[in-house]
């Protein structure tokens, strides 16, 4: 009888030996590709990533339209999810904050803010998603787009999201998945063989794009993620696949 598969704690970049070294490796990887990060995202996803961000933002329109709603976009990178949320919020008084622990990524987000046509832009803070310098129960919505998978401790990340949410507040975690059938076969060939080569060629940095496929394979299945969300204090946990399951949105509400 095969041994049960050990439960994954979190991201494990090559060479990392514990949570601290894993977090440091992730920070260094993403800082190294920050200048070309947006270009690579759009090229490697054939621009479908824009649709995923917009669809996620529309999912939470009921919160974004509320007067004085407070939203946190965690592991915000260069800010694309935060900008999608801001656009969906429109003229409402929703306050959106983007947080990331990569200084280089946040610097790029701030540069993009300067190019916004209107004066309503997210606030940016440099912070570790596992130890946020924020009070408890202060946000109505916490999102994370393609960043949660890189946390050194998934359960600790879920607990921290739950901590900063108000009772009844919602979370939305958008991340990669593994499609099934023929699409899954084609996806795996692209993801494991083509994407790392193209990403390395454009960015000039090998590590991050060799790490990406491994991080997706390592990430818990939707069923396991929902179980972890429930254990962290979320009710009505659900998963909605996007684009044949290439990506998907995890949702949950903080228990009262």
Helix residue ranges per DSSP H, 73-150: 80-89, 103-114
Confidence of residue 1 (pLDDT cuts 50, 70, 90): very low
Per-residue burial over 39-54, b if 16 or more Cβ lie within 10 Å, else e, is: ebbeebbeeebeebbb
Among 194, 246, 191, which Cα is nearest to 213's? 191
- From CA 109, how far away is CA 105, in angstroms rounded? 6
Confidence of residue 146 (pLDDT cuts 50, 70, 90): very high
Query: At residue 4, does pLDDT exceed 60?
Result: no
Question: Bigger pLDDT: 241 or 47?
Answer: 241
Query: At residue 203, does pLDDT exceed 50?
Result: yes
Query: At residue 215, does pLDDT exceed 50?
Result: yes
Average pLDDT over residues 154-180: 96
pTM as predicted: 0.92
What's the pLDDT at 2? 42
- From CA 81, how far away is CA 75, in angstroms rounded? 10
Query: At residue 34, does pLDDT exceed 90?
Result: no
Query: At residue 139, does pLDDT exceed 90?
Result: yes
Residue bearing tokens 């690579």: 40
What's the pLDDT at 12? 86
């Amino acid at each position: 009888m095969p041994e049960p598969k050990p439960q994954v704690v979190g991201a494990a970049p090559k060479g990392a030996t514990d949570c601290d070294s894993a977090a440091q490796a992730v920070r260094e990887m993403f800082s190294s590709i920050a200048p070309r990060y947006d270009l690579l995202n759009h090229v490697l996803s054939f621009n479908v990533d824009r649709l995923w961000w917009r669809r996620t933002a529309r999912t939470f329109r009921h919160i974004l339209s509320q007067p004085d709603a407070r939203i946190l976009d965690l592991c915000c990178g260069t800010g694309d999810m935060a900008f999608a949320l801001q656009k969906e919020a429109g003229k409402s008084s929703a306050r959106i904050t983007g947080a990331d622990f990569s200084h280089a990524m946040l610097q790029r987000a701030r540069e993009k803010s300067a190019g916004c046509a209107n004066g309503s832009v997210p606030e940016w803070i440099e912070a570790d998603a596992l130890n946020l310098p924020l009070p408890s129960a202060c946000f109505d919505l916490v999102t994370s787009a393609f960043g949660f998978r890189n946390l050194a401790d998934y359960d600790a990340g879920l607990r921290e999201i739950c901590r900063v949410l108000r009772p009844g507040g919602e979370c939305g975690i958008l991340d990669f998945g593994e499609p099934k059938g023929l699409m899954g076969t084609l996806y795996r060939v692209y993801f494991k063989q083509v994407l790392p080569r193209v990403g390395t060629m454009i960015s000039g940095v090998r590590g991050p794009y060799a790490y990406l496929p491994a991080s997706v394979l390592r990430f818990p299945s939707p069923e396991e993620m929902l179980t972890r969300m429930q254990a962290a204090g979320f009710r009505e946990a659900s998963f909605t696949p996007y684009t044949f399951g290439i990506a998907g949105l995890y949702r949950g509400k903080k228990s009262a």
